[in-house]
Amino acid sequence: MELITASAGSYPRIGTAPEKQRLRAEYARLDRGEISKEDFARVQDEVTKEVIEEQRRAGIELATDGQVRWYDQISHFARKLDGCEINGLLRLFDTNFYFRQPVIKGNVRWAAPIVVGEFKFAKKVSPIPIKPVVTGPYTLARHSIDKHYHDFSSLVADFVVAIGKEVNALAKAGAEVIQLDEPSILKNPQEFKIFESAVGEVSKNKGKARLALYTYFGDAAKLYDKLQSLPIDILGLDFSYSQKLAAVIEGMGSEKELGLGLVDGRNTRIENVKETAKVVAKILKKLDVDRVYLNPSCGLDEYLPREVAFEKLKNLVAIAKQVRAEMK
Amino acid sequence: MREKLESLGLDLPLLPTTTVGSFPKPREVMEARQKLLAGKLTKKDLRPLEEQATRFWIKTQEEIGIDVLVDGEMYRGDMATYFAENLDGFKISGLVRSYGNRYYRKPIISGKVKWRGPITVDWWKFAQSLTKKPVKGMLTGPYTMMDWSFNEYYPNRREACLDMARALHEEVKALADAGAKIIQVDEPALSARSEELDDFIIKALDIVTKGVGAYFITHSCYGAFEFIYPDMLKLPVDNFDLEMSNSELDLVEIFRRHPFTKDISFGVVDVHSHVIEDVETVKKRIKRALEVLKPEQLWVDPDCGLKTRTREEAIGKLRAMVGAAEEVRKSLSEK
Ligand SMILES: [Zn+2]
């Protein structure tokens, strides 16, 4: 079994040191009309390279582009879909981060690739494999104000078609692993039926890529067996909300490859390497899959300062090293 | 709660107007704060500029005709960081993104949280000395302080929050002793994890307010209030100050089903939009509120702090708000 160190989403786009705050300053200049959108996009390109390089330097083996261009994980998709307008700010789950809420005013339709260009750029400049991230149809629907369908399952169904097209385009662009983020299902387990068919439909579009369903910001222990039944290749889990999750996995094993979110992406406290490695090793002993990913519990932009994010990833790599030593 | 206000000696009109707390800082203060961060100025150098800006906002609020004033928070950076810097047990982190291009420094709880002396009392006294109208005492609540901090010290959120509440109780007592009759405890994080309301938020607010004879307001925003309503009415405060216009007044429908039993400061202008609402728009929002609330329950204010708007936008929005409140007040008295 291979243990792979991975990112789980975003990476902080600015740092605390003045020389790391270029993106923030240029954003302000863009707002004031002092630079063009093209100039700003070039800065985003450079910062994307920087954050990929930081992940590599920390020892991460499967990176993301850091989502440097995203306003937030909801509106980044809704903005480019037909039928969606973007409304005011709303708190994202129980985080201190705010996203802009989509308002559905017409049929939701995929008009053009959303993150494919970002993925291609990252893939071109990165020395290590890149995993694109797509927010899932259920989570997008749950975060929208519906003024058009007046029926939640119809709204989900159209998001499914749209996100399916995006997944398909990413697979065609050469993505080997595509991460589909669906944090919302953990808070709404009663809607698993709708969710299940949504994931099933999206999965049909994955082509040769492997689909990684990532859940976070909630306790996955009680949904674990149901999540195992989904047509996905990798299941990502957030351990920071759940005391029991490790035991549940040890008891039930896993049909899927797992993404173990055992490093808390939302607290600056740095995990103890030995203790965390022990938890990982104990889970691994019960698994019979080809690969397991060790990653933070969630994306890191919005939740950690850049310097701590880097320390967290370095520490995650140290934990993986310890696990490998123990498993020998 | 009109009786409580009267017993505190507060003579407020129907539909009192107020604001949530922060106003935009003038350029001099912003620049001086930058220099302070760069070590080119001391806090002492900053003070006269902050006082001048506070004078401006007190005068402006009086001119516009607002009933319950605030000091405008010219001396604060971020609402959590400011308190963290003045309490024992905290460090401050590097920059974290909150939305768009906005970043803040997040507090880190790295030791036992303790009150080491008055934090906001001097500023409250200064602001109150400038006006005959009541000025609200303002602090960030224990749940938000905990939720908006990294926790490297306490074993869990509950213990961090309750110790925070004990520290803030001292601040509330100090404000009341100085003469503050209306005290606002800001809890924008209130609806973060609904299961924690019964678990320890009610208890925390109880610790903060216990034995203090003031009219308590708690401000919250960006919330998914539908998950904690009507349970949140159990919080030991007199008035909930809620963001309404940015959430398209969905809460009104919820109040129709479960009547709101306390006073409410009803957000009628959107603080995240550059567009200045006209009097008619604001009037409509107030009337919408009156469909489900008694006039005696209703206060009128913006959704949240106005610090991210320009001075002109802030003043424009407040004028529309006061104009609308006056017209509705008049039509109520004619009935
Ligand atoms: Zn607010």
Q: What is the pLDDT of residues A188-207, one digit of tens each?
A: 999 999 999 999 999 999 99
pLDDT at residue A51 tops 70: yes
Which value, in Å, is the radius of gyration of the alpha carbons in chain B? 19
Instruction: Give the one of A24, A31, A308 whose C-beta lies nearest to B103's C-beta.
Output: A24
pLDDT (average), residues B57-83: 96
The tally of CA atoms less than 13 A away on the side-chain side of residue A41 is 6
pLDDT band at A306; cut points 50, 70, 90: very high
Query: Does residue B28 have a pLDDT over 60?
Result: yes
Q: Is residue A57 within 8 angstroms of chain B, CB to CB?
A: no
Q: Which of A34, A91, A267 to mutate to test the interface with B (most CBs of B within 10 A)?
A: A91
Condensed to tens digits (0 to 9), the pLDDT of residues B239-279 reads 999 988 766 557 888 899 999 999 999 999 999 889 999 99
Which chain A residues contact residue B193 at CB under 8 A?
94
Give the 3-state DSSP-derived string for A243-294, with helices as H, strands as E and coil as C.
Answer: CCHHHHHHHHCCCCEEEEEEECCCCCCCCCHHHHHHHHHHHHHCCCCCEEEE
> Within the 193-212 window of chain B, which residues sit less than 8 Å (CB to CB) from chain A?
193
Question: What is the pLDDT of chain B when averaged over all its residues?
Answer: 94
Instruction: Please give the Cα distance from A304 to B93 (Å, whole number).
Output: 9
Q: Which residues of A touch B101 (CB under 8 A)?
A: 24, 27-28, 31
CB contact under 8 A, A303 and B189: no
Does residue B289 register a pLDDT over 70? yes
pLDDT of residue B251: 80
Residue A125 has pLDDT above 70, yes or no: yes
CB contact (8 A) between residue A268 and residue B147: no
Comparing CB atoms, the residue among A31, A98, A145 nearest residue B99 is A98
- Top residue of B91, B99, B140, B277 to mutate, by most chain A CBs within 10 Å, is B99
Among A60-64, B16-20, B159-163, B249-253, whose mean pLDDT is lowest? B249-253
Task: Tell me what pLDDT residue A226 has.
Answer: 98
User: In the prediction, which pLDDT does B194 show?
Assistant: 87
CB contact (8 A) between residue B222 and residue A90: yes
Residues in chain A: 328
Nearest chain A residue to B102, by CA: A24
Distance A152 CA to ligand 1 centre (A): 30
Average pLDDT, chain A: 97
Q: Which CATH number fits domain B2-77+112-144+154-333: 3.20.20.210, 3.40.50.720, 3.40.50.2300, 3.90.1010.10?
A: 3.20.20.210
In this prediction, residues B129-142 reach a mean pLDDT of 98
- Decide: A10 and A301 in contact? Cβ < 8 Å: yes
Of A118, A126, A128, A115, nearest to A49 by C-alpha is A126
pLDDT of A25 > 90? The answer is: yes
- For the stretch B163-197, pLDDT in tens is 999 999 999 999 999 999 999 999 998 988 888 99
More confident site: B223 or A90: A90
Annotate B240-288 with DSSP letters as a single string. Answer: EEE--GGGTTHHHHHHHHS---SEEEEE-S-TT-SSPPPHHHHHHHHHH
Please answer yes or no on whether B151 and A305 come within 8 Å at the CB atom: no
Nearest by CB to B96, which of A24, A27, A302? A302
pLDDT score recorded for residue B226: 78
Task: Evaluate if residue B68 carries a pLDDT over 80.
Answer: yes
Chain A residue closest in CA terms to B273: A88
Walk me through the domains of chain A, giving residue ranges and CATH numbers.
2-327 (3.20.20.210)
Interface of B with A in 108-127 (CB under 8 A): 108
User: What is the nearest CA distance from A304 to chain B, expressed in angstroms?
Assistant: 6
Q: Which amino acid is at A318?
A: A
- Residues, Cβ < 5 Å to ion ligand 1: B 188, 221, 304
pLDDT-derived band at A157, boundaries 50, 70, 90: very high
Of A28, A269, A303, the CB nearest to B96: A303
Q: Which residue of A has its CA nearest to B247?
A: A88
Could you read off the pLDDT of A233-287 as tens digits, one per residue?
Answer: 999 999 999 889 999 999 999 999 999 999 999 999 999 999 999 999 999 999 9
The b-or-e profile of B122-158 (16+ CB within 10 A means b, else e) is ebbbbbbebeebbbbbbbbbbbbbbbbbbbebbeebb
Contact criterion met (CB < 8 Å) for B99 and A99:
yes
Residue A306, chain B, CB below 8 Å: the answer is yes
Q: Is the dihedral of CA B83, B84, B86, B88 positive or negative?
A: positive
Res B249: pLDDT: 55
Amino acid code (one letter) for B286: I
Q: Which two tokens stand for residue B191?
A: 């609806």
Q: For A278-298, what is the mean pLDDT?
A: 97
Interchain CB contact of B132 with A (< 8 Å): no
